[in-house]
Amino acid sequence: MIDFLSLKRANAPHEPAINAAIARVLDSGWYILGKECEQFERAFADYCGVAHCVSVANGLDAIELVLRAYGVGPADEVIVPAQTFIATWLAVSHVGATPVPVEPDPRTYNIDPARIASAITSRTRAIIPVHLYGQPADMGPIRTLASERGLHVIEDAAQAHGAQYKGVRAGGLGDAAAFSFYPGKNLGALGDGGAITTDDTALADTLRSLRNYGSTVKYKHDLRGVNSRLDELQAAMLSEKLRALDVENAARARVAARYLEGLRDTPFQLPHVLADTEPVWHLFVLRTRERARLAEHLRANGVGHMIHYPTPCHQQVAYADSEWPALPLCERIHDEVISIPMVPYLVGHEIDAVISALRSFGGAR
Ligand SMILES: *Cc1c(COP(=O)(O)O)cnc(C)c1O
């Protein structure tokens, strides 16, 4: 049996470093907004090639707080991918603004830059491209359009720690970027965590205040902020795991290369890597019209799989009270995608077993 993802196995190589980090924080007697947090923020900003990193409690808060810091609110619209994890939409809704969905590029599943212009209105304030499955969105045309129209570009980089577009890492591809350190992400904590990266010093200052009750000086509150902070414990563990991120992303890339080679002449639509990008393979997503039968076949062959995502955001009950444009591409893709095991620790015979299970599926596209 090959699990889709075993977090225990993923964290096993980090166990000594994690234990040392826990001991260090316990011994320090300081558990919120201290040295560990500062050190992780410095290291992650450097890793992303930007001036600032502001850590927060999770990825959803990271997106929402950037929108709040930019003053996005009721009566505003924000362009989001039709196809994404629902957090991208929820962050927009939480500030009172309206998410305006745009269909994906059917090769990469990322927001299609060519379809964004027609979704912009006089109320549009920002675009949130998502680097879905670890594949960088096509940021060049998105940034050009945004600067022509005076819109903020906020990357949702929750699935893309370390991914590169034209030599620039995710986190440095927009005006600001939101990351999640949810345990299953490429850089995962042992609990919730998130961060914003940016070169904008004023924005970073506002975010530092917003995440901590609107305060930078104790008991002095300039903004109606929230409590959204990264624990010292999580920050300490993340600093240790950050050191191994490039090695783990390279291991994912090796798994992906073997999958791509081994599945080349099969009827499945394989992931498409955009020219001049370096994905980080958060997920490896296949597409087939016979998904239900393939899922059953994988189950019978002991290969774990998941669906990312089973229901598009606009069809969720949470969004049933609104009218949405027709999103046929997004809906069709949601019916056809299936994710196979993609983790840095997979060894050769496991990768081969996944490939041979897929190759033994007698199906058409
Ligand atoms: C995981 C994820 C988020 C939210 O991160 P949390 O830390 O779980 O709040 C946002 N966007 C995308 C695309 C994600 O995959």
> For 213, left (φ over 0), alpha (ψ -120 to 50), or beta?
left
**What integer is the mean pLDDT of 145-161?**
98
**What integer is the mean pLDDT of 99-123?**
98
Ligand 1 within 6 A of CB of 91: no
Which of the listed residues 61, 78, 85 should we mutate to test ligand 1's pocket, taking the one with most ligand atoms within 8 A of CB? Answer: 85
% of the chain beyond a pLDDT of 70? 99
Measured by CA distance, the residue closest to atom 14 of ligand 1 is 158
Residue indicated by tokens 């305060």: 215
Interatomic CA distance for residues 182 and 204, integer angstroms: 22
Mean pLDDT of the chain, nearest integer: 97
pLDDT for position 118: 98
Kindly give the distance from the C-alpha atom of residue 158 to the centroid of ligand 1, in angstroms, as a whole number.
Answer: 5
Measured from the CA of 58, which atom of ligand 1 is nearest?
Answer: 7
**What integer is the mean pLDDT of 183-191?**
98
pLDDT for position 297: 97
HSE on the CB side for 259, CA within 13 Å? 28
Which of the listed residues 132, 180, 229 should we mutate to test ligand 1's pocket, taking the one with most ligand atoms within 8 A of CB? Answer: 180
Ligand 1 within 6 A of CB of 259: no
Look at residue 307 and tell me whether its pLDDT is greater than 80: yes
Kindly give the distance from the C-alpha atom of residue 180 to the centroid of ligand 1, in angstroms, as a whole number.
Answer: 5
SS3 256: helix
Ligand 1 within 6 A of CB of 89: no
The dihedral built from the CA positions of residue 162, 283, 288 and 361, taken in this order, carries a sign that is positive
Measured by CA distance, the residue closest to atom 2 of ligand 1 is 158
Burial 275-309 (b: 16+ CB within 10 A, else e): eebbbbbbbbbbbbebbeebbebbeebebbbbebb
pLDDT for position 363: 57
**What integer is the mean pLDDT of 250-276?**
97
Q: How do the residues of the chain divide into helix, strand and coil, expressed in percent and rounded to 5?
A: 40, 15, 40
* Least confident residue range of 177-181, 191-195, 216-220, 283-287: 216-220
pLDDT for position 196: 99
Ligand 1 within 6 A of CB of 60: yes
Kindly give the distance from the C-alpha atom of residue 285 to the centroid of ligand 1, in angstroms, as a whole number.
Answer: 17
Q: Within the chain, how many helices (H) and strands (E) appear?
A: 12, 12
Topology of domain 7-242 in CATH is: Aspartate Aminotransferase; domain 2 (3.40.640)
Q: What is the CATH number of domain 245-359?
A: 3.90.1150.10
Measured from the CA of 91, which atom of ligand 1 is nearest?
Answer: 10
Give the residue extent of every domain in the chain: 7-242, 245-359
pLDDT band at 66; cut points 50, 70, 90: very high
Decide the pairing of beta strands 124-127 and 152-156: parallel
pLDDT band at 364; cut points 50, 70, 90: very low
pLDDT digits over 34-54, tens only?
999 999 999 999 999 999 999
Ligand 1 within 6 A of CB of 58: yes
pLDDT for position 362: 77
